[in-house]
Amino acid sequence: MGLLKNTLQFRSGNIACLVLFCGCWIMMLNSCKKGTLLEGEQYMKVSVGLTFNNNDLDLYVNDQLASNGLGQTATTVKQKTEMKIALYKKGTRELLKDTTVKVSGTELRLIYAYSPEIGFNQFVKPGDFVRPSQDSLAYIFVNKFTGFGSGKINIYIYAQLEKSYTAEDSQLVAEVKDLPLGGKSDKLVFPAKDANGNALYYNTIVKDAVTGQDGYWEYISDYGLVNFAGMYIYDDIPSQPGLINGIAYRPFVFNDGSKQYTLPEHVILFQF
């Protein structure tokens, strides 16, 4: 009789547990139907376009290696409102450039220009390396002229219908101000011809950004020249319509037999 009583108590206990379990399970199902499901983590795409198609760079996002040795670096990361982007030499911890960017969407795209041969190591605006139309000339100016004490230069660009080797205020079409030594300007775009289809010649004058001194002032003074401006960036050097022409200003040492001058000269640094 005792055995039967114990058995009945055991079974009734199991039934009570089963009923309790089923009741809890039904309550959980109802709460899931009425409530909101937990959302998963959000992800976003980060890409860094490389202007010079380098294959020797590593991309880090928020201090984590995201892509290595690729000409077009891209990765998917957890979405955040702020991203730290860094480029290193491939396989090393030698930092080349980094930046922190505020993010508002699900994709972050940057463009990075790196070429130690011509002095590029910077993030650039998307349009800076877009080629102009075939009837336009695009220029990026680079300051390599060490003849001024300040190091900074101003570049004045004049559009002319003929090569007069002078420059009038009415012909001034653009200015680049306070370009530091080793620095590069934004891209400037000019028409190759005027409204009547006549070819335009683009002349430049380089001055010290602090003193306003013309790089040719001593030469101009000694030779009695008036309003001299003789650096034509279109046909004196082979700049081309439809391309981005990198023009570097650098020192040119000229000795006329009685005196030595250090003058600014211009050369093509790159074209693409």
- Tell me if 269 sits within 8 A of 246, measured CB to CB: yes
pTM: 0.71
Phi and psi angles of residue 218, each rounded to the nearest 5 degrees, phi first: -65, -40
CATH of domain 43-126: 2.60.40.1110
Task: For the chain, give every residue range classified as CATH 2.60.40.1110.
Answer: 43-126
Assigned CATH class of 132-271: mainly beta
Tokens of 253: 């040492």
H helical segments located in the chain? 2-34, 217-223
**pLDDT of 193-225, one tens digit each?**
999 999 999 999 999 999 999 999 999 999 999
C-beta atoms surrounding 147 within 10 Å: 19
**pLDDT of 155-188, one tens digit each?**
999 999 999 999 999 999 999 999 999 999 999 9
